Amino acid sequence: METYLIAGLGNPDKKYEETRHNAGFRALDKLAAGLHMTVTDRKFKGLFGSTITGGRKLMLLKPQTYMNLSGESVAAAAQYYGIPEDHIIVLLDDINFSCGRMRIRGGGSAGGHNGMKSIIGMLGSDAFPRVRIGVGAKKEQQDLAAHVLGKFAPEDREVMEEVFEAAAKAALCIIEHGVNEAMNRYNGLDLAADEKE
């Protein structure tokens, strides 16, 4: 049976729950809800859950290490179950895309994201799919940490719930149809623009 690991990135403390940096956690929560499962077991320095769907075993993981050590949790789970890189999918926030957009890639650099740097470093590879969830760029004079650890503006919250849902569906699309098909379906999507029409 094929096994996939889907990791949503974020920071564990309650004060970070609604922040931009926790977009990966939020998308993973949507995915778990859609699969009628919980991600509550304490394993691999994270919160973990597994299910079987469509003849595949899916493992969901929320690292509890804080963002910059996410790789410790992801690599521990991947190594324990012998999951190859192309069967690891990471959901994360991205300041390079506006709220309402996301971008799927089959591999590549960390793009300045500390969680991704950690995962690439611990896995020794960047050849794994990722779903980058747009959280909007910081203002010119704004500190980057303050931006990603800040909460979404009230006008963005509704569209972000839709993006988290879409990111969850994109992860399943990668598993069921491959990265290229998921890119074709989701990389041009702009849910904020759809709302304005």
Q: 77-100: per-residue pLDDT in tens?
A: 999 999 999 999 999 999 989 999
With H, G, I as helix, E, B as strand and everything else as coil, classify residue 118. helix
The pLDDT score that the predictor gives to residue 153 is 85
Measured CA to CA, the distance from residue 29 to residue 166 in angstroms comes to 12
Q: Is 177 a catalytic residue?
A: no
- CATH number of the CATH domain containing 93: 3.40.50.1470
Question: What per-residue confidence (pLDDT) applies to 160?
Answer: 94
Print the domain residue range for 130: 3-196
pLDDT of residue 195: 55
Torsion of CA 49, 55, 56, 60, to 10 degrees: -20
Q: What is the pTM of this model?
A: 0.95
Residue of 21, 36, 113, 177 marked active site? 21
**Strands of the 3-8 sheet, one edge to the other:** 41-43, 46-53, 56-63, 3-8, 88-94, 130-134, 102-105
State the total domains in the chain. 1
Q: Which residues of the chain are modeled with pLDDT < 70?
A: 142, 194-197
pLDDT (0 to 100) of residue 194 = 63
